[in-house]
Amino acid sequence: MTTTSDPYAGSRETTEGRVYTVTGGDWDQTFGADTHDDERLVVNMGPQHPSTHGVLRLVLDLEGETVTQARVVIGYLHTGIEKTTEYRTWTQGTTLVTRMDYLAPLFNETAYCLAVEKLLGIEAPPRAQTIRVLVLELNRIASHLVALATFGMEMGALTGMTNGFRERELVLDVLEEITGLRMNHAYVRPGGLAQDLPEGAVESVRELLAVLPERVAGTHRLLTGQPIWQRRLKDVGYLDLTGCVALGVTGPVLRAAGLPWDMRKVEPYLGYETYDFEVPTADTCDAWGRYLVRMGEITESIKIIGQALDRLEPGPVMVEDKKIAWPAQLSLGADGMGNSLDHVRHIMGQSMEALIHHFKLVTEGFRVPAGQVYAAIESPRGELGYHVVSDGGTRPFRVHVRDPSFVNLQATAAMSEGGMIADVIAAIASIDPVMGGVDR
């Protein structure tokens, strides 16, 4: 039996192979703390949901209430989703990536499928692309409402929290009606969508659009003009444009520094260049500006959803290529679970060859030509990119994600150091990280 000398990752040989035991270290030793500094206090914030944005750990060096050094410790979710995709078919990969940033699942699905479609050299049908835009903007609103709600709770504005989650429920009800689930939808598939809009979904979306503008206005009346809310956010978590670019920060944090960088405008996808909408920006470079940008984006998303509804044309929601699309389209049962009887009859009523092909397509999956691509979209937190590699098989060879939460979280130290410990919470909340995307 052999063991390694690494004090933090020892190993031993077993009948099942080598087993590693990974342990933590002493943070004072790891970061070379000055043991003679009597005024220095090290505070561990987390990992139990500081700022309620996930299992994130902050190691803060304090002098009084001033933060002299801030270190971000990640890895507590360790889901391993990227690696797991290598052991699933291209279609099954959708059900994995949707669980990364769990507040923006449809964005993960869409970015992943756009990458797969680029490898295949295909495009989803026009109706599928329009529905994708529709559900993406609904998801963007829901995600920003969570950012608003958690922001309010952290700052002590509990009514902002309850109102934010109340409005989000309205959006999730519609997404559940369309996809069958409130979260982790697996609705966007390579080549199109799992299914078409159900009967009555368009009317439900229009009813939602009739309610949301007044709810957004109510939030402005509750928070935006509130002096305490302004004092807690203004000049807090400062990061200017130079700092954002140096750290690779994107999304509302970058746009709050004055740069209107939005993938929907600069590198359009799904026909976003044909939609009429603005990119909200601010020039304050602080938590206040990020709050205003997200509120503005909710309003713009409402405009985009209305345009998507108006341009819905009859047509298929999956490519016609039967080597990629399932011969029989999925149709949910009346209880919202499983396949409907009509769906089963449709499969069983075709030829034996069609049934065999359907079985092989579902179990083995389709082949994707060898190559590698990068596809990026604008998620609620910034540029969400998928680098997907194929070796010509029925499974991905590699899926690597540029998750905006992971990149933006680097800005924590720049936003927090030199400020008060109470402002660390506001700074992280203004970044709006989701640890499911960070620890993927």
Per-residue pLDDT, averaged over 170-184, amounts to 91
pLDDT at 46: 73
Q: Indicate the pLDDT class of residue 328, thresholds 50, 70 and 90.
A: very low
pLDDT at 155: 85
pLDDT at 409: 92
Q: Indicate the pLDDT class of residue 113, thresholds 50, 70 and 90.
A: very high
Contact 129, 377 (CB under 8 A): no
Which spans in 156-286 are helix H? 158-179, 201-219, 227-233, 241-247, 252-255, 263-266
- pLDDT of residue 184 exceeding 70: yes
Instruction: Tell me the residue type at 430.
Output: S
Neighbours of 314 (CB within 10 A): 6
Per-residue pLDDT, averaged over 380-390, amounts to 94
Q: If you count them, how many residues does the chain have? A: 440
What radius of gyration, in Å, describes the C-alpha atoms of the chain? 24
pLDDT at 265: 93
Q: Indicate the pLDDT class of residue 370, thresholds 50, 70 and 90.
A: very high
Determine what percent of the chain is predicted with pLDDT higher than 70: 85
Q: In what order do the strands lie in the sheet with 398-402?
A: 371-379, 382-390, 398-402
- pLDDT of residue 232 exceeding 60: yes
Per-residue pLDDT, averaged over 158-182, amounts to 91
Q: Indicate the pLDDT class of residue 29, thresholds 50, 70 and 90.
A: low
Per-residue pLDDT, averaged over 171-196, amounts to 90
CA distances from 194 to 23, 70, 143, 197, 321 (A): 43, 44, 22, 10, 15
Question: Global pTM?
Answer: 0.86
| Mean confidence (pLDDT) of the chain | 85
Q: Indicate the pLDDT class of residue 337, thresholds 50, 70 and 90.
A: low
Contact 384, 375 (CB under 8 A): no
pLDDT at 5: 62
Q: Indicate the pLDDT class of residue 303, thresholds 50, 70 and 90.
A: very high
Per-residue pLDDT, averaged over 360-376, amounts to 89
3-class secondary-structure state, position 156: coil
Q: How confident is the model over 64-97, as pLDDT tens digits?
A: 888 998 888 888 888 889 999 999 999 989 999 9
- pLDDT of residue 364 exceeding 60: yes
pLDDT at 347: 65
Please tell me which residue, 15 or 281, carries the higher pLDDT value: 281
What CA–CA distance (Å, rounded) separates 380 from 80?
22
- pLDDT of residue 4 exceeding 70: no
pLDDT at 34: 53
Per-residue pLDDT, averaged over 3-26, amounts to 67
pLDDT at 346: 67
Question: Please, which residues bridge with residue 189 across strands?
Answer: 192
- pLDDT of residue 278 exceeding 90: yes
Residue ranges per structural domain of the chain: 1-30, 81-324+366-438, 325-365
What CA–CA distance (Å, rounded) separates 84 from 395?
10
Per-residue pLDDT, averaged over 282-305, amounts to 93
Please tell me which residue, 149 or 328, carries the higher pLDDT value: 149
Per-residue pLDDT, averaged over 315-321, amounts to 86
- pLDDT of residue 25 exceeding 70: no
Q: In what order do the strands lie in the sheet with 40-45?
A: 40-45, 57-63, 66-73
Give me the helix-helix angle, 105-120 and 126-155, nearest 10°. Answer: 150
Per-residue pLDDT, averaged over 276-281, amounts to 93
- pLDDT of residue 141 exceeding 80: yes
The CATH topology of domain 81-324+366-438 is Cytochrome-c3 Hydrogenase; chain B (1.10.645)
Q: Indicate the pLDDT class of residue 274, thresholds 50, 70 and 90.
A: very high
pLDDT at 350: 64
Pair of tokens at residue 88:
């699933």
Contact 439, 74 (CB under 8 A): yes
